[in-house]
A and B are shown apart, each in its own frame.
Chain A
Amino acid sequence: MLTRLSLAAVLASVLCLTACGSSSGTAAPASAGGGSPSLTVFAAASLTETFTELGRQFESTHSGTKVTFNFGSSATLAQQVTQGAPADIFAAASPATMKTVTDAGLASAPTVFVRNTLQIAVPEDNPAKVASLEDLTDPKVKVALCAEQVPCGAAAVKALDAAGVKVTPVTLEQDVKATLTKVRLGEVDAALVYRTDVIASGGKVRGIDFPEAGQAVNDYPIAALTKAPAPDLARQFVDLVLSQQGRDVLTKAGFQAP
């Protein structure tokens, strides 16, 4: 029964992954003309849990307002925004992806609202007895990293370089959730993922801090878009994210204040 439950959980999380993936193809719906006001937020996949919670809080204080999210890889979202997707807010997992949007003149003065650091994630029972970054160099230890093209991969390379450690991963995953799934299923012995993802896994994965993580801190910028269909609501949502209330939700999930 227990295994069936955990199997269902894994399947559910993957279904969410595929859903997120497909949602990147079909951009979120535009705010409904007339009718009830709506707000469309494009946000990095690692913000899924926290922003969903903040969206609920926003809806309860702005009765009648509907907040719609499009979670996905920051690079994909940035491309959708520059291609004219009808978004009000963009929250990215890296300044570089935000820059493509500001360079296109679609947002100005983004604010860094949180930072995220890497942890070594290992399966609950830690079969390879990983305790430090050095341990990942052992060829018997199977390591998963994010691909360098996505923010968590770039951060991993930076951290490994800072530590002067050379790791040969068995796989370069397409996003941080996929990397974590490999750890959760025990297919790899260790991976470098964000602290927040370890916490979101709900104890299925153990996180190990390492000193060089400080060299690869990821800043998350947020901005209301200049062509936002609902500019007033967009400003109010950004204010909520930057408020103490917003910070509480984010730090509880493992993010750090900037």
Chain B
Amino acid sequence: MPWPLLVPALVGLAFLVLPLAGLLARAPWQSLPQRLAEPLVLEALRLSLVTATIATAVCLLLGVPLAWLLARTTLPGRRVLRALVTVPLVLPPVVGGVALLLVLGRRGLAGQWLYDAFGVSLPFTTTGVVVAEAFVAMPFLVIAVEGALRAADQRYEEAAATLGASRWTVFRRVTLPMVAPGVLAGAVLCWARALGEFGATITFAGNFPGRTQTMPLAVYLALETDPDAAIVLSLVLLAVSVIVLAGLRDRWTGTA
């Protein structure tokens, strides 16, 4: 193995794994079982899993067509659009949360209308958590799917079209199966990002146990008074996400 690759690779691995080792080393193993049984922990974990999954579904529903639009059409200003899609990536999540409040809040540009017409207000609701997570996580999906679409051989699509398939049929029967691994990889990234979302969630959806308090929020507040509890919560979140992600990768993408 060439050492110019091996050495940085090992340093990189250590850099990513050592903080995890730190968590494991400091974890209060004796009190772990009763801490895990606390209703607050289970409540936050359930909420995190549910909202991250729904947010991923929303991202798939909106993000895959968006990626298609960016990769397969010749819209004017596509470059600008592509840059705009990555805005949530560079925006500090707390700022993203404020931006969401300014648009979808009770007095926001669109939220005001929602509130007056339907009495709906997204902040401080579980739906608000999903909105915040989807906002922050969607670029991961769009970028992954767009990359897959660009790498896919367009001649198959052209062949299908010459055989009389409509654009919708081509997308459904040819394009989508071809880029399925990319969609799944994007969805996994998207889910992982949504699961760990903190800044936009606490800013837009607030923090209330059982309604908007996801695991990262619970970790943050536990850190204020009880660092041991924060470590336990972090470990739970970590374990669950590793199990889910490892399981999905093996089963769906066939790459171990």
Instruction: Determine whether A122 belongs to the interface, using a CB cutoff of 8 Å to chain B.
Output: no
Given the interface pairs A11-B98, A18-B199, A178-B203, the reply to whether A170 lies near B124 with Cβ below 8 Å is yes
Instruction: Determine whether A144 belongs to the interface, using a CB cutoff of 8 Å to chain B.
Output: yes
Instruction: Determine whether A233 belongs to the interface, using a CB cutoff of 8 Å to chain B.
Output: no
Is the pair B102, A185 in contact by a Cβ cutoff of 8 Å?
yes
Instruction: Determine whether A206 belongs to the interface, using a CB cutoff of 8 Å to chain B.
Output: no
Q: How far is the CB of A93 from chain B (nearest CB, A)?
A: 12
Q: How many residues does chain B have at the interface if contact means C-beta atoms less than 8 Å apart? A: 28
Instruction: Determine whether B94 belongs to the interface, using a CB cutoff of 8 Å to chain A.
Output: yes
Is the pair A187, B107 in contact by a Cβ cutoff of 8 Å?
yes
| A1-20 CB contacts (< 8 Å) to partner B | 7, 10-11, 14-15, 17-18
Is the pair A185, B107 in contact by a Cβ cutoff of 8 Å?
yes
What residues of B have a CB within 8 angstroms of the CB of A73 in the complex? 224
Complex-state Cα separation, A185 to B227, whole angstroms: 32
Given the interface pairs A18-B95, A172-B207, the reply to whether A75 lies near B224 with Cβ below 8 Å is yes
What residues of A have a CB within 8 angstroms of the CB of B202 in the complex? 173-174, 178
Is the pair A182, B94 in contact by a Cβ cutoff of 8 Å?
no
Complex-state Cα separation, A144 to B106, whole angstroms: 14
Instruction: Determine whether B186 belongs to the interface, using a CB cutoff of 8 Å to chain A.
Output: no
Is the pair B221, A147 in contact by a Cβ cutoff of 8 Å?
yes
| B68-127 CB contacts (< 8 Å) to partner A | 92, 94-95, 98, 101-102, 105-107, 123-124
Given the interface pairs A11-B95, A76-B223, the reply to whether A144 lies near B102 with Cβ below 8 Å is no
Closest to B112 in A: A186
Is the pair A174, B105 in contact by a Cβ cutoff of 8 Å?
no
Q: How far is the CB of B70 from chain A (nearest CB, A)?
A: 28
Closest to B97 in A: A14
Is the pair A15, B95 in contact by a Cβ cutoff of 8 Å?
yes
Instruction: Determine whether B208 belongs to the interface, using a CB cutoff of 8 Å to chain A.
Output: yes
Is the pair B207, A171 in contact by a Cβ cutoff of 8 Å?
yes
Complex-state Cα separation, A35 to B57, whole angstroms: 57
Complex-state Cα separation, A173 to B208, whole angstroms: 8
Closest to B124 in A: A170
What sequence of 0s and 1s flags, for each residue 141-167 of chain B, a beta carbon within 8 Å of any chain A beta carbon?
000000000000000000000000000
Closest to A188 in B: B124
Complex-state Cα separation, A185 to B106, whole angstroms: 9
Q: How far is the CB of B152 from chain A (nearest CB, A)?
A: 39
Is the pair B92, A18 in contact by a Cβ cutoff of 8 Å?
yes
Instruction: Determine whether B225 belongs to the interface, using a CB cutoff of 8 Å to chain A.
Output: yes
What sequence of 0s and 1s flags, for each residue 190-206 of chain B, a beta carbon within 8 Å of any chain A beta carbon?
00000000010011011
Contact of B206 among A150, A173, A186 (CB under 8 A): A173
Contact of B124 among A75, A171, A185, A186 (CB under 8 A): A171
Instruction: Determine whether A142 belongs to the interface, using a CB cutoff of 8 Å to chain B.
Output: yes
At the interface, is chain B mostly helix, strand, loop or mixed?
helix
Complex-state Cα separation, A17 to B102, whole angstroms: 17
Given the interface pairs A147-B221, A186-B106, A187-B105, the reply to whether A173 lies near B207 with Cβ below 8 Å is yes
Is the pair A14, B95 in contact by a Cβ cutoff of 8 Å?
yes
Instruction: Determine whether A23 belongs to the interface, using a CB cutoff of 8 Å to chain B.
Output: no
Closest to B99 in A: A11
What residues of A have a CB within 8 angstroms of the CB of B48 in the complex? none
Closest to A75 in B: B224
Instruction: Determine whether A226 belongs to the interface, using a CB cutoff of 8 Å to chain B.
Output: no
Is the pair A149, B224 in contact by a Cβ cutoff of 8 Å?
yes
Contact of B221 among A7, A149, A181 (CB under 8 A): A149
Q: How far is the CB of B93 from chain A (nearest CB, A)?
A: 8
Q: How far is the CB of B100 from chain A (nearest CB, A)?
A: 11
Complex-state Cα separation, A205 to B227, whole angstroms: 34
Contact of B224 among A76, A142, A144 (CB under 8 A): A76
Closest to B122 in A: A187
The 10 listed contacts between A and B (C-beta, < 8 Å) are: A10-B98, A14-B203, A21-B94, A79-B227, A149-B224, A150-B224, A171-B206, A178-B202, A186-B107, A187-B124
Residue numbers of A with Cβ under 8 A of B are 7, 10-11, 14-15, 17-18, 21, 73, 75-76, 79, 142, 144, 147, 149-150, 169-174, 178, 181-182, 185-187
Q: Add 13 more A-B contacts to A14-B94, A181-B203, A187-B123 (CB < 8 A).
A: A7-B102, A14-B95, A15-B95, A21-B94, A147-B224, A149-B221, A149-B222, A172-B209, A174-B207, A178-B202, A181-B98, A185-B107, A187-B105
